[in-house]
Amino acid sequence: MIRTAVEDGSILVVTMDRPPANAIDQLMSDGLDEAFGRFEADDDLRVCVITGAGDRFFSAGWDLKEVAAGGADESRFGAGGYMGLTERWGLLKPVIAAVNGTAAGGGFELALACDLVVADERARFVLPEVRHGLVAEGGGVIRAPRRLPPMIAMELLLTGAPMRAEELSRHGFVNRLAKPGQTLPVALELARRICEAAPTAVTATKEIVAGTLHLSERDAYASMRGGTWPGYRRMRESANRIEGPRAFAGKRLPRWVP
């Protein structure tokens, strides 16, 4: 149901594999929580790529048949919340969604919870919850207006109509459009570029961005300089802060430490 593999010793690839549509039931949500927990805890893993098996669905979202049967139990969600990622607030390493097909409901919300999105040019994104008498409370109502222009987000949320990857790319949500069958390779290439950077700098960058988005520029500066961000503090104290300029001056590749 959840498959994991490590690429290049530092990239964790998590694959949702539940035919026919990679719909997320409680067991899959638990598996995702375990995978993201492993990623968060392992210092050797620098970037995570989440994708779906097959070429039609990234994920169709929460299994409504399980909901109808009374099998869904929100109290059982793990430390990362729904799908293991939507409320994993302490995760300071980047996650890339490799959207290989339709991302519906929770599938779209999972992509919204990621830091970067690579999508098959044929992929569609849809938040259909209102059509089922539900609210996109797995993060859609909260993250969509923050990741997309508010009017576009409201159209998605209020109509339940799909939008294509190309359209969302124009609105700044999709980082890379990939040819059919190339979504994961393109996402891995993006992950490798991140892995070329200093791990302490990547962590500090994500920490500061996540922690200051809601602040004014002035308050964001004060927060960053205030000594309250452990990742930022580690970056400033790390040997990488000296190694980077030395490698640049010496025209060589840097030798980063964790």
Give the catalytic positions in this structure: 109, 129
Q: Is 59 exposed, middle or buried (0-12, 13-18, 19+ CB in 10 A)?
A: buried
DSSP 3-state of 247: helix
User: What does the block give as tokens for 183?
Assistant: 């979504």
- 178: Cβ–Cβ under 8 A, 6 or more apart, which residues? 118, 119, 120, 121, 185, 186, 187
User: Which is it for strands 102-104 and 57-59: parallel, antiparallel or unpaired?
Assistant: parallel
* Whole-angstrom distance, CA of residue 101 vs CA of residue 230: 37
